[in-house]
Amino acid sequence: MSDEQYIMSIDQGTTSTRAIIFNHDGEIVQQAQHEFPQIFPKPGWVEHDANTIWETVQQVISDALIQSNIKPYKIAGIGITNQRETTVIWDRITGEPVYNAIVWQSKQTSEIANQLKEDGLAEMIHAKTGLVIDSYFSATKIMWILENIAGVRERAERGELMFGTIDTWILYKLTNGRVHATDYSNASRTMLYNIHELKWDTEILDLLHIPVSLLPEVKPSSGHFGYTQDYGFYGIKVPITGIAGDQQAALFGQAAFEPGMVKNTYGTGAFIVMNAGTDPKLSDNGLLTTIAYGIDDKVYYALEGSIFVAGSAIQWLRDGMHLVEHASETEAMAEAAGSSDNVYVVPAFTGLGAPYWDQEMRGAVFGLTRGTTQNQFVRATIESLAYQTRDVVDTMAKDTGLPIKALAVDGGASNNNYLMQFQADILDTTIRRPMVSETTALGVAFMAGLAVGFWQNQAEVEKLWQLRDEFKGTMAADEREEKYAGWQLAVKAAQVFKTN
Protein backbone atom coordinates (compact mmCIF):
# COMPACT_ATOMS: atom_id res chain seq x y z
CA MET A 1 0.00 0.00 0.00
CA SER A 2 2.63 2.51 1.14
CA ASP A 3 4.71 2.05 -2.03
CA GLU A 4 1.80 3.43 -4.06
CA GLN A 5 2.09 6.71 -2.24
CA TYR A 6 4.65 9.46 -2.52
CA ILE A 7 5.99 12.53 -0.79
CA MET A 8 6.34 15.80 -2.69
CA SER A 9 8.99 18.35 -1.77
CA ILE A 10 8.78 21.93 -2.89
CA ASP A 11 12.31 23.38 -2.90
CA GLN A 12 12.12 27.12 -3.37
CA GLY A 13 15.74 28.25 -3.96
CA THR A 14 17.43 31.56 -4.75
CA THR A 15 17.42 31.11 -8.50
CA SER A 16 14.80 28.44 -9.16
CA THR A 17 11.86 26.53 -7.76
CA ARG A 18 11.70 22.74 -7.86
CA ALA A 19 9.05 20.14 -7.06
CA ILE A 20 10.41 16.65 -6.50
CA ILE A 21 8.34 13.53 -5.94
CA PHE A 22 10.00 10.78 -3.86
CA ASN A 23 8.95 7.17 -3.47
CA HIS A 24 9.18 5.07 -0.33
CA ASP A 25 12.80 4.13 -1.10
CA GLY A 26 13.73 7.83 -1.06
CA GLU A 27 14.29 7.77 -4.84
CA ILE A 28 13.35 10.61 -7.15
CA VAL A 29 10.35 9.62 -9.24
CA GLN A 30 9.85 12.97 -10.94
CA GLN A 31 11.20 16.47 -10.74
CA ALA A 32 10.23 19.78 -12.28
CA GLN A 33 12.12 23.05 -12.13
CA HIS A 34 11.49 26.69 -13.05
CA GLU A 35 13.91 29.57 -12.92
CA PHE A 36 12.58 33.05 -12.17
CA PRO A 37 13.95 36.58 -12.60
CA GLN A 38 16.32 38.20 -10.15
CA ILE A 39 15.55 41.88 -9.57
CA PHE A 40 18.50 44.23 -8.99
CA PRO A 41 16.97 47.68 -8.32
CA LYS A 42 20.34 49.18 -7.31
CA PRO A 43 23.91 47.87 -7.03
CA GLY A 44 24.06 45.32 -4.24
CA TRP A 45 20.27 45.05 -3.88
CA VAL A 46 18.62 41.71 -4.71
CA GLU A 47 14.85 41.23 -4.74
CA HIS A 48 12.29 38.67 -5.94
CA ASP A 49 8.66 39.12 -6.93
CA ALA A 50 6.81 37.01 -4.32
CA ASN A 51 3.83 36.52 -6.65
CA THR A 52 6.16 35.21 -9.37
CA ILE A 53 7.64 32.80 -6.84
CA TRP A 54 4.14 31.53 -6.05
CA GLU A 55 3.44 31.13 -9.81
CA THR A 56 6.59 29.01 -10.19
CA VAL A 57 5.49 26.88 -7.23
CA GLN A 58 2.13 26.19 -8.89
CA GLN A 59 3.88 25.51 -12.19
CA VAL A 60 6.34 22.96 -10.79
CA ILE A 61 3.63 21.19 -8.78
CA SER A 62 1.51 20.75 -11.88
CA ASP A 63 4.50 19.83 -14.11
CA ALA A 64 5.70 17.15 -11.67
CA LEU A 65 2.22 15.63 -11.28
CA ILE A 66 1.37 15.71 -14.99
CA GLN A 67 4.76 14.41 -16.18
CA SER A 68 4.74 11.54 -13.67
CA ASN A 69 1.04 10.84 -14.14
CA ILE A 70 0.75 10.62 -10.35
CA LYS A 71 -2.71 11.63 -9.13
CA PRO A 72 -2.69 14.40 -6.49
CA TYR A 73 -4.39 12.15 -3.90
CA LYS A 74 -1.38 9.78 -4.11
CA ILE A 75 0.73 12.40 -2.37
CA ALA A 76 0.79 11.42 1.31
CA GLY A 77 2.43 14.62 2.47
CA ILE A 78 4.11 17.80 1.24
CA GLY A 79 7.38 19.25 2.50
CA ILE A 80 8.44 22.86 1.89
CA THR A 81 12.10 23.86 1.95
CA ASN A 82 13.31 27.30 1.04
CA GLN A 83 15.99 29.90 0.52
CA ARG A 84 16.24 31.22 4.04
CA GLU A 85 16.02 34.74 5.50
CA THR A 86 14.40 36.20 2.35
CA THR A 87 11.61 38.42 3.61
CA VAL A 88 8.05 39.01 2.40
CA ILE A 89 5.38 41.21 4.01
CA TRP A 90 1.82 40.95 2.73
CA ASP A 91 -1.76 41.92 3.48
CA ARG A 92 -3.42 39.46 5.86
CA ILE A 93 -6.74 39.54 3.94
CA THR A 94 -5.88 40.08 0.27
CA GLY A 95 -2.53 38.24 0.31
CA GLU A 96 -0.99 41.06 -1.72
CA PRO A 97 2.70 41.73 -0.90
CA VAL A 98 3.43 45.33 0.11
CA TYR A 99 6.90 45.18 -1.49
CA ASN A 100 9.16 42.74 -3.35
CA ALA A 101 10.75 39.95 -1.33
CA ILE A 102 14.14 41.20 -0.08
CA VAL A 103 16.61 38.38 -0.76
CA TRP A 104 19.13 37.03 1.76
CA GLN A 105 22.04 38.29 -0.38
CA SER A 106 20.74 41.85 -0.58
CA LYS A 107 22.84 44.65 0.87
CA GLN A 108 20.16 47.37 1.03
CA THR A 109 19.98 47.04 4.80
CA SER A 110 23.73 47.15 5.55
CA GLU A 111 23.39 50.60 7.11
CA ILE A 112 20.61 49.43 9.42
CA ALA A 113 22.81 46.49 10.45
CA ASN A 114 25.76 48.82 11.08
CA GLN A 115 23.54 51.08 13.19
CA LEU A 116 22.42 48.13 15.34
CA LYS A 117 26.09 47.25 15.89
CA GLU A 118 26.88 50.86 16.81
CA ASP A 119 23.97 50.79 19.24
CA GLY A 120 25.84 48.04 21.06
CA LEU A 121 23.28 45.27 20.45
CA ALA A 122 25.68 42.65 19.05
CA GLU A 123 26.34 40.74 22.25
CA MET A 124 22.70 40.59 23.37
CA ILE A 125 21.50 39.54 19.91
CA HIS A 126 24.20 36.87 19.62
CA ALA A 127 23.37 35.48 23.05
CA LYS A 128 19.64 35.24 22.32
CA THR A 129 19.48 34.38 18.62
CA GLY A 130 22.87 32.69 18.06
CA LEU A 131 23.46 35.06 15.09
CA VAL A 132 25.82 37.91 14.37
CA ILE A 133 24.23 41.21 13.35
CA ASP A 134 24.19 41.27 9.54
CA SER A 135 21.96 42.45 6.70
CA TYR A 136 21.79 38.73 5.74
CA PHE A 137 19.08 37.96 8.32
CA SER A 138 15.39 38.90 8.07
CA ALA A 139 15.21 41.47 10.91
CA THR A 140 16.84 44.41 9.11
CA LYS A 141 14.86 43.58 5.96
CA ILE A 142 11.58 43.84 7.90
CA MET A 143 12.77 47.14 9.41
CA TRP A 144 13.62 48.46 5.94
CA ILE A 145 10.17 47.68 4.52
CA LEU A 146 8.44 49.19 7.57
CA GLU A 147 10.51 52.36 7.24
CA ASN A 148 10.65 52.83 3.48
CA ILE A 149 7.29 51.82 2.03
CA ALA A 150 4.54 54.37 2.51
CA GLY A 151 1.78 53.37 4.92
CA VAL A 152 3.31 50.01 5.80
CA ARG A 153 4.26 50.82 9.40
CA GLU A 154 0.73 52.07 10.15
CA ARG A 155 -0.84 48.99 8.56
CA ALA A 156 1.55 46.75 10.50
CA GLU A 157 0.70 48.53 13.78
CA ARG A 158 -3.01 47.94 13.02
CA GLY A 159 -2.29 44.20 12.63
CA GLU A 160 -3.24 44.16 8.94
CA LEU A 161 0.00 42.66 7.65
CA MET A 162 1.91 39.39 7.86
CA PHE A 163 5.64 38.75 7.66
CA GLY A 164 7.02 35.48 6.41
CA THR A 165 10.13 33.86 5.07
CA ILE A 166 9.46 32.04 1.79
CA ASP A 167 8.22 28.84 3.48
CA THR A 168 5.56 30.86 5.29
CA TRP A 169 4.55 32.64 2.08
CA ILE A 170 4.13 29.34 0.20
CA LEU A 171 2.27 27.76 3.14
CA TYR A 172 -0.11 30.75 3.26
CA LYS A 173 -0.73 30.43 -0.48
CA LEU A 174 -1.14 26.62 -0.50
CA THR A 175 -3.65 26.83 2.35
CA ASN A 176 -5.42 29.74 0.66
CA GLY A 177 -4.63 32.17 3.46
CA ARG A 178 -5.72 29.91 6.31
CA VAL A 179 -2.30 29.28 7.91
CA HIS A 180 0.40 31.74 9.01
CA ALA A 181 3.21 29.57 10.39
CA THR A 182 6.86 28.65 10.04
CA ASP A 183 9.20 26.09 11.58
CA TYR A 184 11.99 26.45 14.14
CA SER A 185 14.79 26.34 11.55
CA ASN A 186 13.41 29.27 9.56
CA ALA A 187 12.45 31.27 12.65
CA SER A 188 16.04 30.97 13.86
CA ARG A 189 17.24 32.90 10.77
CA THR A 190 15.22 36.06 11.45
CA MET A 191 17.43 37.49 14.23
CA LEU A 192 14.20 37.89 16.22
CA TYR A 193 13.82 34.39 17.64
CA ASN A 194 15.14 33.36 21.03
CA ILE A 195 16.68 29.95 20.30
CA HIS A 196 16.93 29.01 23.98
CA GLU A 197 13.40 29.94 25.10
CA LEU A 198 11.88 29.02 21.70
CA LYS A 199 9.83 32.19 21.34
CA TRP A 200 9.87 35.51 19.51
CA ASP A 201 12.04 37.76 21.65
CA THR A 202 10.03 40.74 22.89
CA GLU A 203 13.11 42.73 23.95
CA ILE A 204 14.58 42.53 20.44
CA LEU A 205 11.18 43.23 18.82
CA ASP A 206 10.77 46.36 20.99
CA LEU A 207 14.27 47.64 20.26
CA LEU A 208 13.81 47.11 16.51
CA HIS A 209 10.21 48.47 16.56
CA ILE A 210 8.77 45.37 14.94
CA PRO A 211 5.11 44.61 15.89
CA VAL A 212 4.69 41.04 17.12
CA SER A 213 1.40 40.74 15.18
CA LEU A 214 3.46 40.47 11.98
CA LEU A 215 5.07 37.21 13.04
CA PRO A 216 3.99 33.64 12.24
CA GLU A 217 3.39 30.81 14.68
CA VAL A 218 6.53 28.67 15.06
CA LYS A 219 6.16 24.87 14.90
CA PRO A 220 8.31 21.71 14.73
CA SER A 221 9.87 21.10 11.30
CA SER A 222 8.31 17.64 11.09
CA GLY A 223 4.65 17.96 12.03
CA HIS A 224 1.27 19.15 10.86
CA PHE A 225 1.11 22.63 9.30
CA GLY A 226 -2.21 22.52 7.44
CA TYR A 227 -3.89 21.19 4.30
CA THR A 228 -3.77 22.36 0.71
CA GLN A 229 -7.02 24.17 -0.04
CA ASP A 230 -9.09 24.98 -3.07
CA TYR A 231 -6.96 25.12 -6.19
CA GLY A 232 -3.60 25.12 -4.38
CA PHE A 233 -3.38 21.40 -5.12
CA TYR A 234 -6.13 20.61 -7.63
CA GLY A 235 -8.79 20.87 -4.95
CA ILE A 236 -7.33 17.90 -3.06
CA LYS A 237 -6.61 18.31 0.66
CA VAL A 238 -3.04 17.10 1.07
CA PRO A 239 -1.35 17.58 4.46
CA ILE A 240 1.70 19.83 4.60
CA THR A 241 3.84 18.08 7.19
CA GLY A 242 7.42 19.26 6.78
CA ILE A 243 9.02 22.69 6.65
CA ALA A 244 12.72 23.54 6.98
CA GLY A 245 15.21 26.08 5.71
CA ASP A 246 17.11 24.57 2.80
CA GLN A 247 20.46 24.21 4.57
CA GLN A 248 18.96 22.51 7.60
CA ALA A 249 16.89 20.28 5.29
CA ALA A 250 20.12 19.30 3.52
CA LEU A 251 21.64 18.29 6.88
CA PHE A 252 18.61 16.06 7.47
CA GLY A 253 18.73 14.73 3.89
CA GLN A 254 22.36 13.74 4.46
CA ALA A 255 21.05 11.73 7.43
CA ALA A 256 23.53 13.70 9.56
CA PHE A 257 21.56 12.95 12.72
CA GLU A 258 24.52 12.45 15.08
CA PRO A 259 26.17 15.41 16.82
CA GLY A 260 29.45 16.26 15.08
CA MET A 261 28.30 15.25 11.59
CA VAL A 262 28.91 17.98 9.00
CA LYS A 263 27.61 18.76 5.52
CA ASN A 264 28.46 21.38 2.92
CA THR A 265 26.01 22.44 0.22
CA TYR A 266 27.76 24.11 -2.72
CA GLY A 267 24.92 26.10 -4.36
CA THR A 268 24.79 29.84 -5.07
CA GLY A 269 26.48 30.21 -1.70
CA ALA A 270 27.99 27.40 0.36
CA PHE A 271 26.64 26.50 3.75
CA ILE A 272 28.57 24.28 6.12
CA VAL A 273 26.35 22.96 8.88
CA MET A 274 27.32 20.74 11.80
CA ASN A 275 24.76 18.89 13.88
CA ALA A 276 25.24 20.18 17.44
CA GLY A 277 22.66 17.93 19.10
CA THR A 278 20.51 19.47 21.80
CA ASP A 279 23.20 21.95 22.89
CA PRO A 280 22.78 25.55 21.66
CA LYS A 281 26.44 26.34 22.32
CA LEU A 282 27.53 29.74 21.01
CA SER A 283 30.58 30.17 18.79
CA ASP A 284 33.42 32.43 19.91
CA ASN A 285 34.80 32.59 16.39
CA GLY A 286 32.12 33.92 14.03
CA LEU A 287 30.05 30.81 13.37
CA LEU A 288 26.28 30.92 13.79
CA THR A 289 24.32 28.85 16.26
CA THR A 290 21.02 28.04 14.68
CA ILE A 291 18.15 25.58 14.98
CA ALA A 292 18.67 22.49 12.83
CA TYR A 293 15.15 21.11 13.18
CA GLY A 294 12.40 20.29 15.60
CA ILE A 295 11.07 16.75 15.59
CA ASP A 296 9.30 14.48 18.12
CA ASP A 297 8.98 17.31 20.69
CA LYS A 298 12.74 17.96 20.63
CA VAL A 299 14.77 20.77 19.15
CA TYR A 300 18.21 20.10 17.67
CA TYR A 301 20.78 22.81 17.10
CA ALA A 302 23.52 23.34 14.53
CA LEU A 303 26.69 25.33 14.06
CA GLU A 304 26.82 27.01 10.68
CA GLY A 305 29.37 28.79 8.53
CA SER A 306 27.68 30.73 5.73
CA ILE A 307 29.71 31.50 2.59
CA PHE A 308 27.90 34.02 0.40
CA VAL A 309 29.68 33.41 -2.91
CA ALA A 310 30.35 29.84 -4.08
CA GLY A 311 28.54 28.57 -7.21
CA SER A 312 27.78 32.20 -8.04
CA ALA A 313 31.56 32.67 -8.59
CA ILE A 314 31.28 29.97 -11.26
CA GLN A 315 28.27 31.80 -12.71
CA TRP A 316 30.46 34.90 -12.79
CA LEU A 317 33.09 32.99 -14.80
CA ARG A 318 30.29 32.13 -17.22
CA ASP A 319 28.18 35.31 -17.38
CA GLY A 320 30.62 38.04 -16.33
CA MET A 321 34.02 36.82 -17.54
CA HIS A 322 32.65 34.73 -20.45
CA LEU A 323 35.35 32.13 -19.83
CA VAL A 324 32.93 29.18 -20.08
CA GLU A 325 29.54 28.51 -21.57
CA HIS A 326 28.51 25.92 -19.00
CA ALA A 327 29.52 25.64 -15.35
CA SER A 328 30.51 22.01 -15.90
CA GLU A 329 33.31 23.02 -18.33
CA THR A 330 35.27 24.44 -15.41
CA GLU A 331 36.24 20.95 -14.27
CA ALA A 332 38.27 20.07 -17.39
CA MET A 333 39.79 23.56 -17.50
CA ALA A 334 40.95 23.30 -13.91
CA GLU A 335 42.42 19.84 -14.55
CA ALA A 336 44.26 21.20 -17.60
CA ALA A 337 45.71 24.21 -15.76
CA GLY A 338 48.69 22.36 -14.28
CA SER A 339 49.86 23.02 -10.77
CA SER A 340 52.71 25.46 -11.17
CA ASP A 341 50.77 28.70 -10.77
CA ASN A 342 50.10 30.63 -7.62
CA VAL A 343 46.91 32.51 -8.51
CA TYR A 344 44.28 33.30 -5.86
CA VAL A 345 40.78 34.64 -6.49
CA VAL A 346 38.99 36.04 -3.42
CA PRO A 347 35.33 36.20 -4.54
CA ALA A 348 34.21 38.68 -1.88
CA PHE A 349 31.71 40.26 -4.31
CA THR A 350 29.38 41.20 -1.46
CA GLY A 351 31.90 40.98 1.37
CA LEU A 352 32.80 37.76 3.15
CA GLY A 353 30.53 35.82 5.50
CA ALA A 354 31.75 33.35 8.13
CA PRO A 355 34.12 33.57 9.86
CA TYR A 356 35.06 37.10 8.72
CA TRP A 357 31.66 38.88 8.57
CA ASP A 358 33.14 41.76 6.59
CA GLN A 359 30.35 43.32 4.50
CA GLU A 360 32.52 46.15 3.15
CA MET A 361 35.37 44.22 1.49
CA ARG A 362 35.22 43.34 -2.21
CA GLY A 363 36.73 40.70 -4.51
CA ALA A 364 40.38 40.53 -5.54
CA VAL A 365 42.79 38.49 -7.67
CA PHE A 366 46.40 37.88 -6.68
CA GLY A 367 49.47 36.29 -8.23
CA LEU A 368 48.91 37.13 -11.90
CA THR A 369 51.91 36.86 -14.22
CA ARG A 370 52.31 37.45 -17.94
CA GLY A 371 51.90 33.71 -18.30
CA THR A 372 48.61 33.34 -16.37
CA THR A 373 46.08 31.46 -18.48
CA GLN A 374 42.29 31.28 -18.56
CA ASN A 375 42.51 27.77 -17.17
CA GLN A 376 44.51 28.96 -14.19
CA PHE A 377 42.04 31.76 -13.54
CA VAL A 378 39.16 29.27 -13.63
CA ARG A 379 41.04 26.89 -11.37
CA ALA A 380 41.78 29.59 -8.82
CA THR A 381 38.09 30.52 -8.76
CA ILE A 382 37.05 26.91 -8.13
CA GLU A 383 39.71 26.59 -5.45
CA SER A 384 38.29 29.66 -3.66
CA LEU A 385 35.21 27.57 -2.78
CA ALA A 386 37.45 25.00 -1.11
CA TYR A 387 39.56 27.58 0.72
CA GLN A 388 36.47 29.35 2.09
CA THR A 389 35.20 25.97 3.23
CA ARG A 390 38.47 25.32 5.04
CA ASP A 391 38.17 28.70 6.80
CA VAL A 392 34.84 27.53 8.21
CA VAL A 393 35.79 23.90 8.92
CA ASP A 394 38.94 24.96 10.80
CA THR A 395 36.80 27.36 12.84
CA MET A 396 34.32 24.58 13.61
CA ALA A 397 37.12 22.30 14.78
CA LYS A 398 38.44 25.12 16.97
CA ASP A 399 34.99 25.91 18.42
CA THR A 400 34.08 22.32 19.20
CA GLY A 401 37.52 20.88 19.91
CA LEU A 402 36.61 18.05 17.51
CA PRO A 403 38.49 17.24 14.29
CA ILE A 404 36.15 17.10 11.26
CA LYS A 405 36.77 13.62 9.89
CA ALA A 406 34.28 13.62 7.02
CA LEU A 407 32.27 16.16 5.06
CA ALA A 408 29.04 15.14 3.31
CA VAL A 409 28.54 17.26 0.19
CA ASP A 410 25.70 18.25 -2.12
CA GLY A 411 24.50 21.16 -4.29
CA GLY A 412 25.26 22.02 -7.93
CA ALA A 413 29.01 22.62 -7.63
CA SER A 414 29.56 19.37 -5.71
CA ASN A 415 29.31 17.69 -9.13
CA ASN A 416 32.71 19.17 -9.94
CA ASN A 417 35.27 16.39 -9.37
CA TYR A 418 38.23 18.76 -9.44
CA LEU A 419 36.65 20.82 -6.67
CA MET A 420 35.83 17.73 -4.60
CA GLN A 421 39.38 16.34 -4.85
CA PHE A 422 40.91 19.72 -4.08
CA GLN A 423 38.52 20.07 -1.13
CA ALA A 424 39.64 16.70 0.24
CA ASP A 425 43.29 17.75 -0.28
CA ILE A 426 43.06 21.18 1.30
CA LEU A 427 41.09 19.89 4.31
CA ASP A 428 42.85 16.53 4.54
CA THR A 429 39.39 15.15 5.19
CA THR A 430 37.21 12.56 3.44
CA ILE A 431 34.53 14.05 1.17
CA ARG A 432 31.39 11.93 0.85
CA ARG A 433 29.02 12.54 -2.07
CA PRO A 434 25.64 10.78 -1.87
CA MET A 435 23.62 8.99 -4.52
CA VAL A 436 20.72 11.48 -4.32
CA SER A 437 22.24 14.89 -4.97
CA GLU A 438 18.91 16.66 -4.23
CA THR A 439 19.63 16.35 -0.54
CA THR A 440 17.67 19.47 0.41
CA ALA A 441 14.45 18.18 -1.11
CA LEU A 442 15.10 14.70 0.26
CA GLY A 443 15.61 16.10 3.77
CA VAL A 444 12.27 17.88 3.89
CA ALA A 445 10.61 14.84 2.26
CA PHE A 446 11.97 12.78 5.16
CA MET A 447 10.51 15.30 7.63
CA ALA A 448 7.12 15.35 5.89
CA GLY A 449 7.07 11.55 5.52
CA LEU A 450 8.00 10.90 9.14
CA ALA A 451 5.13 13.12 10.33
CA VAL A 452 2.50 11.09 8.41
CA GLY A 453 3.96 7.65 9.14
CA PHE A 454 5.11 7.19 5.51
CA TRP A 455 8.43 6.34 7.18
CA GLN A 456 8.37 5.06 10.74
CA ASN A 457 11.47 6.63 12.28
CA GLN A 458 14.83 8.29 11.61
CA ALA A 459 16.62 4.93 11.69
CA GLU A 460 14.53 3.86 8.70
CA VAL A 461 15.32 6.96 6.61
CA GLU A 462 18.99 6.78 7.62
CA LYS A 463 19.21 3.49 5.73
CA LEU A 464 17.99 5.22 2.56
CA TRP A 465 21.11 7.43 2.43
CA GLN A 466 23.59 5.90 0.00
CA LEU A 467 27.15 6.86 -0.83
CA ARG A 468 28.00 7.61 -4.49
CA ASP A 469 31.69 8.65 -4.27
CA GLU A 470 34.37 9.31 -1.74
CA PHE A 471 37.36 11.66 -2.20
CA LYS A 472 40.35 11.32 0.10
CA GLY A 473 43.12 13.86 0.65
CA THR A 474 46.37 12.96 -1.11
CA MET A 475 48.26 16.28 -1.00
CA ALA A 476 51.49 16.43 0.98
CA ALA A 477 51.10 18.32 4.26
CA ASP A 478 53.66 21.04 3.48
CA GLU A 479 52.12 21.76 0.07
CA ARG A 480 48.66 21.92 1.64
CA GLU A 481 49.69 24.36 4.35
CA GLU A 482 51.70 26.51 1.94
CA LYS A 483 48.72 26.84 -0.41
CA TYR A 484 46.35 27.63 2.45
CA ALA A 485 48.74 30.23 3.90
CA GLY A 486 48.70 31.93 0.46
CA TRP A 487 44.89 32.07 0.60
CA GLN A 488 44.91 33.57 4.09
CA LEU A 489 47.33 36.24 2.94
CA ALA A 490 45.14 36.99 -0.09
CA VAL A 491 42.07 37.46 2.16
CA LYS A 492 44.02 39.79 4.47
CA ALA A 493 45.21 41.87 1.52
CA ALA A 494 41.66 42.06 0.11
CA GLN A 495 40.40 43.22 3.50
CA VAL A 496 42.96 46.04 3.54
CA PHE A 497 42.03 47.17 0.02
CA LYS A 498 38.70 48.88 0.58
CA THR A 499 37.91 51.48 -2.03
CA ASN A 500 34.63 52.75 -0.63
The residue ranges that bind ligand G3P (CB under 6 A) are 13-14, 83-85, 104, 245-247, 267-269
Q: How far is the CB of 359 from ligand G3P (least distance, A)?
A: 15
* Nearest-approach distance from CB 435 to ligand ADP, in angstroms: 16
Look at strands 239-245 and 222-227 and give their pairing: antiparallel
Q: CB-wise, 454 or 471, nearer to ligand ADP?
A: 471
* String of contacts with ligand ADP for each residue 375-414, x by CB under 6 A: ------------------------------------xxx-
The answer to whether 336 contacts ligand ADP (rule: CB under 6 A) is no
Residue 246 assigned to a binding site = yes
- 84 annotated as ligand-binding: yes
d(CA 343, CA 359): 24
Q: How far is the CB of 15 from ligand G3P (least distance, A)?
A: 7
The yes or no reply on residue 13 touching ligand ADP (CB under 6 A) is yes
315 binds, among ligand G3P, ligand ADP, none (CB under 5 to 8 A by kind): ligand ADP
By beta-carbon proximity to ligand ADP, the closer residue of 86 and 241 is 86
DSSP state of 53: H
State residue 383 phi and psi, 5-degree precision.
-65, -25
DSSP at 212: G
Shortest gap between Cβ of 40 and ligand ADP (angstroms)? 16
Partner interacting with residue 438 (select from ligand ADP, ligand G3P, none; CB below 5-8 Å by kind): none
Contacts of 74 (CB under 8 A, 6+ apart): 4, 5, 6
Q: Tell me how crowded residue 354 is: count the other CB atoms within 10 A of its CB.
A: 25
Give the C-alpha distances (Å, rounded to integers) separating 161 from 142, 215, 218, 226: 12, 9, 17, 20
* Contact partner at residue 84 from ligand G3P, ligand ADP, none, CB < 5 to 8 Å by partner kind: ligand G3P
Stretch touching ligand ADP by CB under 6 A, among 46-54, 256-264, 327-335, 450-458: 327-335
For residue 404, with 0-12 CB atoms within 10 Å meaning exposed, 13-18 middle and 19 or more buried, which class applies? buried
Q: Per the annotation, does 315 bind a ligand?
A: yes
Q: 187: part of which helix (H) or strand (E)?
A: helix 184-187
Look at residues 278, 259, 190 and name the one whose alpha carbon lies nearest to residue 400: 259
Residue 485: strand, helix, or coil = helix
Is position 315 an interface residue for ligand ADP (rule: CB under 6 A)?
Answer: yes
Give the CA-trace dihedral at 339, 341, 342, 347, to 10 degrees.
Answer: -90
When the beta carbons of 104 and 169 are compared against ligand G3P, the nearer one is 104
SS3 75: strand
Q: What is the rounded CA–CA span in Å between residue 257 and residue 465?
A: 12
Residue 268 engages ligand ADP in binding (rule: CB under 6 A): yes
What residues numbered 411-450 form the site for ligand ADP, per CB under 6 A? 411-413, 415-416
Mark the binding-site residues for ADP, compressed into ranges. 14, 18, 268, 311, 412, 416
Binding residues for ligand ADP (CB under 6 A) = 13-16, 267-268, 311-312, 314-315, 327-328, 330-331, 411-413, 415-416
